[in-house]
Structure 1
């Protein structure tokens, strides 16, 4: 396995920058472009960040498929973290040769720029904190993003049962404020649906729901 130094990475990023700069389209003089806006604005429309030029449109860069693939991957990672499977899909959509895509992703994995384990850990922390997803839902979403079962399982195992229960209770308490005044059975049904969508097992969900409802002023037991 080849070791890549920081200097190698800097050189790689510089090369990618030159490739992208060389691939910028030439702007026509004002008023001469058929792509002028209907309002008469002579400025050309900027490319969207999530759009990648087709490799064939990059001129000289198209002669080096590895450089084109690296440019696509760097653009994808700049927009947001991605799993290896998501990057493979992005490269396939741009007609990159599968062998070239594999070689590029293998090299970037070696230097840590593509790391499904780190992605999975970050994803679990974020989704647990912001969305209150249970372990089963977290595992399901990671698998949908192409993370292998062992890697997804290792990341989800970091979620403690105590933390999972506390997040479920927070979800129930928050939703109960919006359900105030409704019949108890309606509250139970809607809260059960909420926790089910978040991936919580029915046994845990039922216990938490009844416990939290009983503690509200409108249903407090004598």
Structure 2
């Protein structure tokens, strides 16, 4: 078999390969140059199969890198996205190896950055941060090691939130304020004992 024509696709950086005057497959320009494909080259089925495997892996890697340009992701998030896109396990595994080897994904660094953002920008408590990290596929071992929010630190943060939120409840009955403020702090992810103490101290109970 022989390559008889190479034509650019309407999509940028892709070409169509013709073998024995018939369309054989589409390919990225990157792989065309990597395999040094030229009109007149002799090819066989095994060689074509190798190229198609490389093409699918390139698609998988490029899709992963595209996702990572939008935001940081955990290993599990990236795997889920690749599965939804329809890539086979083989290509997903190779793509994850590539991303980890090039430090495009790192669950420990992701966890540290996530905790920092959620504490400083969203004022989340430990329970919500832990819940969201688990949903993103971070292991309990990593979370327990990296999520170090002392009781006193969380209490001070929750008190600040409570004092600010109380202004919006002005004029309401005590029971309503207690219920709403408690629910607000729980949704922010503060542990039950912290919320109870803040409610007691803020509403002058006890």
TM over 0.5: yes
Instruction: Report whether the alignment pairs 1:169 with 2:159.
Output: yes
The structure whose Rg is larger is 2
SS of the residue corresponding to residue 139 of structure 1 reads helix
Show structure 1 runs of 4+ deviating over 4 A: none
How far apart, CA to CA, are the structure 2 residues paired with 1:164 and 1:102?
39
How far apart, CA to CA, are the structure 1 residues paired with 2:14 and 2:152?
53
Q: Of 21, 26, 51, which residue of structure 2 is paired with 1:59?
A: 26
5 Å-filtered alignment, 1:3-14, equals none
Number of aligned pairs? 162
User: Residues 99-147 of structure 1: CA distance to partner in whole angstroms, max 9, x if unpaired?
Assistant: 1111121222122111011111111111112222221221111010111
SS of the residue corresponding to residue 87 of structure 2 reads coil
Contact 2:125 2:154 in 1 (8 A): yes
Structure 2 alignment gaps of length 5 or more: 1-10, 16-24, 29-50
5 Å-filtered alignment, 1:100-115, equals 100-115=91-106
Instruction: Report whether the alignment pairs 1:130 with 2:130.
Output: no
Q: TM-score, normalised by structure 1?
A: 0.67
Structure 1 alignment gaps of length 5 or more: 1-19, 25-57
Q: Of 183, 204, 209, which residue of structure 1 is paired with 2:194?
A: 204
How far apart, CA to CA, are the structure 1 residues paired with 2:142 and 2:192?
26
Q: Which structure dedicates a bigger proportion of its chain to strand?
A: 2
How far apart, CA to CA, are the structure 2 residues paired with 1:106 and 1:160?
36
SS of the residue corresponding to residue 121 of structure 2 reads helix
Contact 1:188 1:210 in 2 (8 A): no
